[in-house]
Amino acid sequence: MKDKPLGSVYLVGAGPGDPDLLTVKALRLISQCDALVYDALVPNEMLELVKKDCKCIFVGKRRGHHSTQQSTTNTLLLNLAKSLKSVVRLKGGDPFMFGRGGEEANYLQKYGVSVQVIPGITAGIAASAYFGIPLTHRLAGSSVTFVTGHEGINKKGFSVNWNGLAQSGNSLVIYMGVHNLNYIVKKLLTAGCSPNTPSAVIQQATVIGQRCLKTSLDRLVQDVEIRKFVSPSIIIIGEVVNFQIESIAPPLANVTMPILF
């Protein structure tokens, strides 16, 4: 007897929280899929977009929940593709931006599963737009670096070159940086960044509950602690912060964005 053909897995970017920021293609796939496997940064309101008999499976890390191992998620996606036609793997922001989308796509392809990646608006882009900070500016920033503030403990052989970044004059957009902020700021200052370098933190970029702060690099750690900023937050460091255009932010979405660990 012939094996049942494998279904397709769509790695879909959920964007930065507001369902209105989903792409049209993402919305179509979410509303038609047979199973939806989702992350911690996907608000519950997006789960309401699925059809009635769609299986929704949570595989993220959230306060008060166990976190799912990457290998478990990979196997789950493969098993779903064996029995269902269309599986959406919904990831906060963009699947290929600090989202392990590459690892999942690789794994599935090895087993012959057809994979498509549907890009989403990444949090760094959304946070800067919603706080009115242009990430590039002819007078202040000709390049921009998206960087993680939290490197995997099992990672071998490479790490963020904070010295190089400090000297580059780039605008820095730091993901997952709140917990390691003390270390990051020390590295940047030691490598020669001016203590006055304008800096900003934006928590929960596009949804009600959004909080923002603007300060200087030497006060960043202290201000984040005093104001109790938590994850998910984006940190922007660079002269572009001084080019903030206040009052251009779109209205915030009335959805519940989870707080991470």
Residues that bind ligand SAM (CB under 6 A): 16-17, 41, 91-94, 97-99, 122-123, 127, 175-176, 202-206, 231-234, 257
Rg (CA), the chain: 19
SS3 content of the chain, % helix, strand, coil (to 5): 30, 20, 45
Q: Please state the closest distance from residue 134 (CB atom) to ligand SAM, in A.
A: 18
CA 168 to chain centre: 24
Verify whether residue 39 is a known catalytic residue: yes
Q: Provide, rounded to whole angstroms, the least separation between the CB of residue 19 and ligand SAM.
A: 12
Q: What is the DSSP string of 3-70?
A: PPPP-EEEEEE-BTS-GGGS-HHHHHHHHH-SEEEE-TTS-HHHHTTS-TT-EEEE-S--TTSPPPPH
Q: Which residue is nearest to ligand SAM (CB)?
A: 93
Residue 164 beta carbon to ligand SAM: minimum distance, rounded to whole angstroms: 21
- Find out whether 201 and 221 touch, Cβ atoms under 8 Å: no
Respond yes or no: is residue 97 known to be catalytic: no
Of residues 84 and 221, the one with the C-beta less far from ligand SAM: 221
Residue in 18, 46, 94, 176 annotated catalytic: 176
- Cβ closest to ligand SAM, residue 98 vs residue 243: 98
Nearest to 177 by CA among 122, 123, 125, 233: 233
Residue 7 or 93: which CB sits closer to ligand SAM?
Answer: 93
Q: Write down the least CB distance from residue 205 to ligand SAM, Å.
A: 4
Spell out the residues 6+ positions from residue 203 whose beta carbon is closer than 8 angstroms to its own: 209, 210, 211, 212, 229, 230, 232, 233
Cβ-based nearer residue to ligand SAM, 175 or 243: 175
From 39, 46, 94, 97, active-site residue? 39
107 vs 175 by CB, closer to ligand SAM = 175
In the bound complex, what is the minimum distance in angstroms from residue 166's beta carbon to ligand SAM?
20
Rounded to the nearest 5 degrees, what angle is found at the Cα of 132, between the Cα atoms of 129 and 138?
A: 95
Catalytic residues: 39, 61, 176
